[in-house]
Structure 1
């Protein structure tokens, strides 16, 4: 029997998280809300939540098959996903293959420049502070991890996930520019991949035209966000 929503545990910018009758399982409800620049720009895009849910489910299933431990259990319907409960590690892990966004703004690296190696950065998952950059010592001072080896493990997993996803998107004729990952601890204290894997958190460019197929369409006022997300899902389904 599939667990049902019982109590709202948390509501964020893009999802509601619900408790179920099973204490070890939660349900994510994907919303149509759009936010950018730490919530300064807001909008709604009909169907966006369902697209993100379906894309995330496809990618979680793919990574599970590759041996990556994730919280994903199954897709429930268009906007709901069943997953394991996990204690969130308050580090946003940013993985970059090509310069874009804040990397270009802050360091002056022209957008589209291929990086000489995969860059893994840490941001503090804290909206009130604007998600500032973290180094390893910050992570330890803030008790975000228990020991330095956990940061090494998170970096290792981020790079491994990146290799799998680069291969996945290459088959879809898409460039994986950069993306955000989140990790948590399951009931057995294992560090696992959590949250979502969608164009809200990924920069994806068409490999032939460099057309942006992600939330930059909203950030930069390009329009056509739902159409771009639908095209990403269509390519996944037809791979």
Structure 2
């Protein structure tokens, strides 16, 4: 038994023991139904998919376990939260997101969060984001500040002469629009609603408006700020 396998067994504790004995330990999934998943997760771990991912974050998991061993309610995090996170890591398509799931686990323990609905919601949203979505979210948004989602200014001469370059830019813009709409749909980002009186005043000014003023503006929602803080790495 290697160190990661030993650590996971210690973290799961009785949950894993029951699963091995009964071959169907029960965990409430996101829909509220009861699903036998620990045994299948452990089988996957043995096969290697889950193990490879956990090997990468083994140092972080060990630190979390040390934190949990000092808590009176450690069984809640080990037997309810940790299996949930294992399920998400197992189902995840992108290896690069594994550290983000673990960051959320650490935050949950640090902040003594015991509201499972809150934990479910954050992880459910994270599972729906791809790395490209997260990169755009981190690049374009800072909590409390308004940012315009403008693309990089193109090479005008090349844009006029190179059709392939034009198509690349259009495709990039289309993808960015898709991601922005996805972030809005998930409640992470919201459109800034302009004050009607200010909008009317701008309309009366007419030609004094700059081109950038006509662009839609976005900012993190209150949920988006909490979501970022939940999974962010501490400075």
**In proportion to residue count, which structure has more strand?**
1
Q: TM-score, normalised by structure 1?
A: 0.29
Q: TM-score, normalised by structure 2?
A: 0.29
**In proportion to residue count, which structure has more helix?**
2
